[in-house]
Amino acid sequence: MPGLVQQPSVRGTVRYNLPDLSVRPEDRGLFSGPAHKFGEDVDVDLYNPELAEEIIQGPEGLDVQGFTYVKHKSVLGTDDWLEGNNVEEKYVPEVEELVKQVTGATKVIVNHLGIRKRLSASNNDPTFYRKAGDQHDEAVKKLTEKNAPWVNGRSDAGLEPARFAHCDYTLRGLKRTARYCRKDITAAAQGALDAEDNGTEPKRYAAYSVWRPLQAVKRDPLAVADWRTVDPNTLQAIEYRATSNVLEAGEYMLEQMTQTPGAKSTRQRWYCKTEQDTDDVLILKFADTATEQDANIAVTCVHCSPVVHGTEHEEPRMSVEARVMAFW
């Protein structure tokens, strides 16, 4: 296959950013992170997780290194993803059942699905951020009013591959999402939320990303970092606006982490499944309340879409990401 080559490692370029927090999150668009004061592109080795002895395969990997790959064939073929309500009616139940099987959770809810099928452009402008009140804000509000997953990228080009190293939820962001994002999510989390409020025995819940190529990857793959090699001091928390149908204001402050340039001087190791095909599903951890009780459990998974050397002229990557909440 043109593009990525099966070997112990390939070279790729990841980006570490220092965020510009001079613009308040309230003044940025929904789901918009800040611009960046400084960004540094760093060449790294991208190791093959299938050949790396230190990587734990199977479900256990989620709590060891923060990610795992599983084989799963969807009922949707390449030409089905953009048709009608196939994603909501067929893929959402598949994802929820898959995450139950992999994690042992008793309840799983898909929050959001994003289809990506274009090249990275705005990522190249460090000053870019969306302003509050733009057309995107109004469109997103309409999509997120119901107790159902919202899908973007089906009728438009969708989001770009994210070049910068980040993790989408902090633990605080996870807890806020459980309380404020959607009424059905809050209902599923109610036992855990009551335990938090009353100081009784905690109940576990977590957020994951389920990432699947819609065609064989030739460029802009998703790379993941082994949590055991990540220096937490290189992660900076950032708040951003997210929609809510629980709060009267219609929104709440979610929190994610971006990885700063100090990471280039650490022992952090990146992994990327070369020749990732449509049935090679990557599950990575956003945040997990179990980490409050057990320091040996992976906190999160830093990830990004690197520029893999030699693939710059390949066709755009097509993928779907499902963000899910899991409850035990």
Burial (0-12, 13-18, 19+ Cβ within 10 Å), 232: exposed
Per-residue pLDDT of the chain (328 residues; tens, 9 = 90+): 344 444 578 999 999 999 999 999 999 999 999 999 989 999 999 999 999 999 999 999 999 999 999 999 999 998 898 889 999 999 999 999 999 999 999 999 999 998 887 555 555 677 888 889 888 788 778 767 778 888 877 766 566 778 899 999 999 999 999 999 999 999 999 999 999 999 999 999 999 999 999 999 888 999 999 999 999 999 999 999 999 999 999 999 999 999 999 999 999 999 998 779 999 999 999 999 999 999 999 999 999 999 999 888 888 788 999 999 999 9
Q: What is the DSSP letter of 290?
A: G
SS3 content of the chain, % helix, strand, coil (to 5): 25, 30, 45
Burial (0-12, 13-18, 19+ Cβ within 10 Å), 7: exposed
- Crossing angle of helices 171-180/183-198, nearest 10°? 120
For residue 229, what are its two tokens? Answer: 């090699």
Which distant-in-sequence residues (6+ apart) come within 8 Å of 102 by Cβ?
59, 62, 68, 70, 283
CA atoms within 13 A on the CB side of 108: 23
From first CA to last CA, the distance across the chain in angstroms is 41
Cα distance between residue 220 and residue 123, in whole Å: 13
pLDDT for the residue 123: 58
pLDDT for the residue 28: 94
pTM for the predicted model, two decimal places = 0.93
pLDDT for the residue 4: 47
